[in-house]
Amino acid sequence: MLIRQAMFTSVLIANRGEIACRIARSAARLGMRTIAVYSQADAGALHVRRCDEAHPIGPAPATESYLVIDRLIEVARKSGAQCIHPGYGFLSENAEFAEACAAAGIVFVGPPPSAIRAMGLKDRAKALMEKAGVPVVPGYHGERQEPAFLKQKAYEIGYPVLIKAVAGGGGKGMRRVDKHAEFEAALDGAQREAKSSFGDARVLIEKYVSVPRHIELQIFADAHGNAIHLNERDCSLQRRHQKVIEEAPAPGMSAELRAAMGEAAVKAALAVGYAGAGTVEFIADGSNGLRADGYWFMEMNTRLQVEHPVTEAITGLDLVEWQFRIAAGEKLPLSQDCVPLQGHAVEARIYAEDPARGFLPSTGTLIALQFPGGVRVDTGVEQDSAITPYYDPMIAKMIAHAPTRAEALDKLAAALGHTIAAGPHTNLALLAALCRAGEFHAEQFDTGFIERNIAVLGGGGADLAAVAFGAAELLAREADRIGRSLDRAPDAPASPWDTADGFQLSGPRALALPILADGEPLEARVSYGAAGPAVAVDGVTAALDATAIPAADAIYVLRRGRQTVVRRADLGAGDLDHAGGDGQIKAPMHGKVLALLVCDGEQVIKGQRLAIIEAMKMEHALTAPRDGRVAGIAVAVGSQVAEGVKLMTIDSTDQ
């Protein structure tokens, strides 16, 4: 039991979304007045209403609001905040922000600026760890950044290699390179993304481990020279170098190896005079199981992690409360030998993204959002909230805790299957499939597992049974609307002319219903019999296990965690423009045009990169669908574009 000493009476939470709500929950339990900040895009956000008071800090882009240090300090002063909790992301690992807090007489709930600087840059952190005797991944961590020099270093290290932003995190500014000829393009993309996300374009090069397991140790240190670890987490299930499912403890971890890795993590923290919560991340070679000579230091995150709830589940501790108490000057409440480890916990990150289209982020209003009971859900949104292109596309984190790993995975899979989320596309189906995957259950996985198995995990083609179900719902809604509009006396005899379906004078009644399923043109066949209409698409009949969420102009069909949006096709409005292979290059999501890589009239080949769009802090390259000539570039670098907007056309060379 923690003994309460002098505690803060107020906290400004310099963040948004689910982590802001999470911090507010612990702060309120400790009796603090909670102070939120919000951008123009977040004026109606959940975290604003969950706090005792809230203050505007600027326009939607984070660079004009959540990343403006002076503005945050000004709000903290005016509101009388005793401390500032940065959450994760944004300014959580910014030494200048920590210094600005101190200069204003406000406690920064995090490590000292010196520790942030020491561990915040991956190249310096690796050099420091080598000096401290912690094993480090082979690579180049020096100061030189000339492209030709870095390419030569990559060749010397041996492909495949990873290019990583020295100030990075969350997979941003990271590229895997398998061939020497691909290095320049990968370096250019990594540096540009790093500059955009962290304000620092510098990178390092390290050897790519062939069967990598991502294992991290949660550490805590106080200002009195004490440091411990709170066991490990396995974060190996990733897409685009970003974590998707995390669990604790790590499968295959022995008590002896946990102690060795924990000792290395604590050594890393003590080497920089750390205080507060941190995570020491290791890459392990999983080819022959976890072993003492097969792990290397990767980086240290000087903040709380997104996946901290799984550690809370197996230890029964509130890590945010620990952060507050250590920032208030208290000593660590536990010694290393008293840290609990109870059962197994698994966390799934529910994202607004489309796994079937390369995990492109998806924006829009959540027209339906419901979570089941029996699991922990951390979220910063609710029904009718908007997922915007300005911030990370996470909808929620769902955490299951059970006595065994198998039970925790089954519990999480069931909860994901009973979650309703409609509007933007989500990765719910993928997450449930991962939890049920035989190899994952058998502990046979690494960081490339999702990429290798995406076709069977949920990245396939259209769910025709769901499409047929949506078409049937559209038909029923239209029939109901037409029926209600008929001006006929209640006791008048029925007339075939009142029928709102495929009435005809002879033969079986049937009709063809042109529809759009997720924007793709299809045709539903509707036949009428004694039991009513039957709908099929390409011979596949309507699903019986789907849920319909009606919207003004569409039916959102949810089936097995996957969403399909079905609309009537308006042939006169040009719904089928893209069906004939017209070469139009359209924005796959809302975002900002970072680069145009071709010019009007330029000859291109299939697969050539045409433009780069940034959305939700990630870059997405658009490529030519065929050989041809560029025509009609309709956007400029720096333009904000909406999903579906035409960017350019590739005219076929044989026209």
Query: 603, 614, 616: which is closest to 637 by C-alpha?
Result: 614
Residue 339 amino acid letter: V
Contact call for residues 178 and 267 (beta carbons, < 8 A)? no
303 is catalytic: yes
- The catalytic residue among 16, 233, 258, 303 is 303
Backbone φ and ψ of 629, nearest 5°: -125, 135
What is the rounded distance in angstroms from the CA atom of residue 642 to the CA atom of residue 357? 17
Return d(Cα 397, Cα 18) in angstroms, integer. 8
DSSP string, 587-623: -SSSEEEEEE---TT-EE-TT-EEEEEEETTEEEEEE
Instruction: Report the alpha-carbon angle 409-413-414, nearest 5.
Output: 120
A 10 A CB-CB count for 75 gives 20
Structure tokens at 577: 């423009």
- Count of residues making up the chain: 655
DSSP one-letter code for 112: -
Instruction: Give the integer Cα–Cα distance in Å for 338 and 88.
Output: 27
| Cα 619 from Cα 95, distance rounded (Å) | 26
- Number of Cβ atoms within 10 Å of the Cβ of 607: 10
Coil/strand/helix, residue 374 = coil
Q: What distance, in Å, lies between the first and last C-alpha atoms of the chain?
A: 77
Tokens of 132: 């401290």
- Going by C-alpha positions, the residue among 112, 114, 113, 139 that lies closest to residue 126 is 139
Q: In sequence order, what E strands does 66-211 have?
A: 83-85, 107-108, 139-140, 161-169, 172-177, 203-207
* Nearest-angstrom CA–CA distance, 173 and 121: 13
> How far is 387 from 366, CA to CA, in rounded Å?
7
Residue 80: CA count within 13 A, CB half-sphere = 7
**How many helices, marked H, and strands, marked E, lie in the chain?**
16, 38
Q: Which SS3 state, helix, strand or coil, does residue 256 take?
A: helix
Residue 517: which of 586, 577, 566, 479 has the closest Cα? Answer: 566
DSSP 318-365: -HHHHHHHHHTTPPPSS-GGG----SEEEEEEEESEEGGGTTEE--EE
Token readout for 286 is 């999983």
Cβ neighbors of 333 (< 8 A, separation 6 or more) are 2, 3, 322, 325
Pairing of strands 520-529, 510-517: antiparallel
- Quick one: tokens of 135? 């094993």
Those residues whose C-beta lies under 8 Å from the C-beta of residue 152, and which sit 6 or more positions away, are none
Give me the active site residues, please. Answer: 303
